[in-house]
């Protein structure tokens, strides 16, 4: 075991292929439908022709690929070199502050130019779009991490970028908007009057705070009504997005070899599933193929308890029922979350792969309230010096709790979590916490039951 704090790799050690979990999924796709993408109108399997209206064809082919390793295009790896490999850091000061025998490690994705893990897929999707001659992307964003990443990626490949940003986040996080505009993107608070669906939401509720489901509906509508000018880009949920993020976990595997340790527990926050899947899947691969026994803990907000309280069923990916239908843990496509500060963890559904793995017992899920997560964030910041994003703070707090459990039990476990982004643009949220203005909020079960009463009735086969 090394006495180092930081474990780094050379540029030459950036993975050359992403890990595709499809062939290793431990559940029968015919039984779980984790790979089923259905047309929102017919509820039949979506054809490549339908999906190609939304996504570049190479992205679609990755979704159905059964190749375990998919080569990272050289132009994508070249841009990755701006910040990759990201460091794996032993949180020795946090261990000391907690007086725990646990060994805590975090993979720090906040070193990317936009301060989060999101560019790992944004760069790939923009490259595929450029290859296909796409002139512009539409997308949605919650806290702004994804919008910032896609704006940067589109700038690199000379593609226009139009972002529908959830209105409550647009108002909470103005500097994320400024960052997107700095890269040349157009940013619109959602719901907006730019789309028919946005107009309908505002007609019903002029003060709607918005949701990722609504913003997705607007971005999808803008793409499909553009006569082929725009494609749509998604920052989480779908298989290729999670696969692009596995560059994180694959690097971490190499770094743990240098640390001469291996994680007993892997932790990540979950909203749509991109950072958790990207970090956890390469370690899950070891569980599936080599018999390792690592535990996996996905952490979500009590205000948006998709895995812990949502229904595992087919649902639309957006509020307008215009995005494809997938099987996932869902709170219902009409779900409108409260304005919690973890804006990236407000989506009504969960990645189908992660939903299936959770349903099969391969990963665990817990929900934490925003007050306790900020408590953990401050403990971490004061020990390690990094101010974590509110989303990432869920993983931080869960890690602290695991480490304190080790202290109580007198056991020494290796705990690894993905610090998926920094909180430098989220200081207003920290200000709210420091001045006791945050409240503990649990989304009411009655509202979940109401929202999930309108799920599509899908019969496969």
- Nearest-10 Cα torsion for 305, 308, 309, 312: 110
Please determine, for residue 342, whether its predicted confidence score (pLDDT) is greater than 60. no
Q: So what's the pLDDT on residue 169? A: 85
Please determine, for residue 382, whether its predicted confidence score (pLDDT) is greater than 90. yes
pLDDT tens readout for residues 126-156: 999 999 999 999 999 987 899 999 999 999 9
Residue from 298, 240, 216 nearest 265 by CA:
298
Q: So what's the pLDDT on residue 1? A: 59
Please determine, for residue 460, whether its predicted confidence score (pLDDT) is greater than 80. no
SS3 assignment, position 183: coil
Percent of the chain with pLDDT over 70: 97
- For 383, residues 6+ apart whose C-beta sits below 8 A from its C-beta are 91, 93, 94, 96, 97
Q: So what's the pLDDT on residue 365? A: 98
- Token pair for 76: 């994508």
Percent of the chain with pLDDT over 90: 78
Q: So what's the pLDDT on residue 199? A: 96
pLDDT tens readout for residues 389-421: 999 999 999 999 999 999 999 999 999 999 999
Residue 236 to residue 420: CA distance in whole angstroms: 13
SS3 track for 391-433: HHHHHHHHHHHHHHHHHHHCCCCEEEEEECEECCCCHHHHHHH
Class of 6-15+71-115+239-452 in CATH: alpha beta
Residue 421 to residue 370: CA distance in whole angstroms: 17
The answer to which of 34-43, 146-155, 282-291 has the lowest mean pLDDT is: 34-43
The mean per-residue pLDDT over the stretch 92-119 comes to 98
- Delimit the domains of the chain by residue range: 6-15+71-115+239-452
Other beta carbons within 10 angstroms of residue 157's beta carbon come to: 18
Global pTM reads: 0.95
Res. 2 pLDDT band, cuts 50 70 90: low
Q: So what's the pLDDT on residue 35? A: 78
Q: So what's the pLDDT on residue 459? A: 76
The answer to whether 454 and 334 are in contact (CB under 8 A) is yes
Res. 50 pLDDT band, cuts 50 70 90: confident
Res. 343 pLDDT band, cuts 50 70 90: low
pLDDT tens readout for residues 185-227: 999 999 999 999 999 999 999 999 998 889 989 999 999 898 8
Q: So what's the pLDDT on residue 404? A: 98
Q: So what's the pLDDT on residue 182? A: 98
Give the chain's mean pLDDT.
Answer: 93
Please determine, for residue 271, whether its predicted confidence score (pLDDT) is greater than 70. yes
Q: So what's the pLDDT on residue 229? A: 85
Burial (0-12, 13-18, 19+ Cβ within 10 Å), 111: middle
Residue carrying structure tokens 């950036």:
14
Please determine, for residue 337, whether its predicted confidence score (pLDDT) is greater than 90. no
């Amino acid at each position: 075991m090394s006495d180092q704090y930081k474990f780094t790799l050379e540029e030459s050690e950036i993975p050359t292929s992403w890990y595709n979990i499809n062939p290793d999924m431990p559940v029968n796709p015919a039984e779980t439908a984790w790979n089923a993408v259905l047309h929102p109108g017919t509820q039949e399997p979506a054809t490549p022709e339908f999906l190609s209206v939304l996504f570049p064809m190479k992205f679609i082919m990755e979704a159905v690929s059964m190749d375990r390793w998919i080569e990272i295009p050289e132009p994508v790896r070249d841009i990755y070199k701006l910040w990759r490999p990201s460091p794996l850091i032993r949180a020795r000061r946090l261990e000391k502050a907690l007086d725990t025998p646990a060994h805590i490690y975090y993979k720090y994705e906040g070193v990317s130019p936009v301060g989060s893990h999101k560019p790992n897929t944004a760069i790939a999707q923009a490259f595929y779009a450029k290859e296909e001659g796409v002139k512009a992307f539409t997308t949605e964003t919650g806290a702004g991490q994804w919008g910032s990443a896609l704006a940067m990626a589109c700038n690199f490949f000379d593609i226009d970028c139009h972002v529908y940003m959830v209105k409550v986040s647009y108002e909470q996080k103005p500097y994320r908007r400024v960052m997107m505009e700095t890269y040349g993107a157009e940013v619109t608070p959602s719901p907006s009057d730019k789309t028919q669906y946005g107009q309908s939401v505002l007609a019903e509720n002029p003060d709607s705070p918005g949701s990722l489901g609504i913003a997705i509906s607007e971005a999808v509508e803008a793409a499909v009504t553009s006569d082929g000018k725009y494609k749509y880009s998604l920052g989480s949920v779908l298989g290729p997005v999670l696969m692009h993020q596995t560059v994180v976990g694959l690097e971490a595997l190499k770094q743990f070899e240098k640390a001469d340790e291996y994680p007993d527990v892997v932790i990540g926050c979950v909203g749509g599933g991109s950072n958790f899947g990207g970090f956890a899947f390469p370690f899950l691969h070891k569980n599936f193929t080599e018999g390792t026994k690592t535990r996996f803990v996905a952490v979500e907000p009590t205000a948006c308890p998709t895995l812990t309280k949502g229904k595992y069923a087919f649902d639309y990916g957006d509020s307008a029922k215009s995005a494809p239908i997938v099987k996932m843990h869902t709170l219902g496509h009409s779900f409108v979350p409260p304005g919690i500060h973890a804006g990236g963890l407000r989506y009504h559904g969960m990645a189908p792969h992660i939903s299936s793995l959770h349903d099969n017992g391969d990963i665990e899920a817990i929900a934490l309230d925003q007050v306790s997560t900020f408590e953990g964030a401050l403990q971490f910041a004061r020990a390690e010096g990094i101010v974590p994003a509110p989303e990432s703070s869920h993983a931080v707090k869960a890690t602290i709790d695991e480490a304190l459990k080790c202290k109580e039990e007198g056991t020494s476990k290796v705990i690894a979590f993905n610090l998926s982004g920094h909180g430098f643009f989220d200081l207003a949220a920290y200000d709210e916490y420091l001045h006791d203005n945050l409240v503990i909020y649990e989304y009411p079960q009655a509202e979940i039951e109401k929202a999930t009463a309108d799920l599509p009735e899908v019969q496969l086969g």
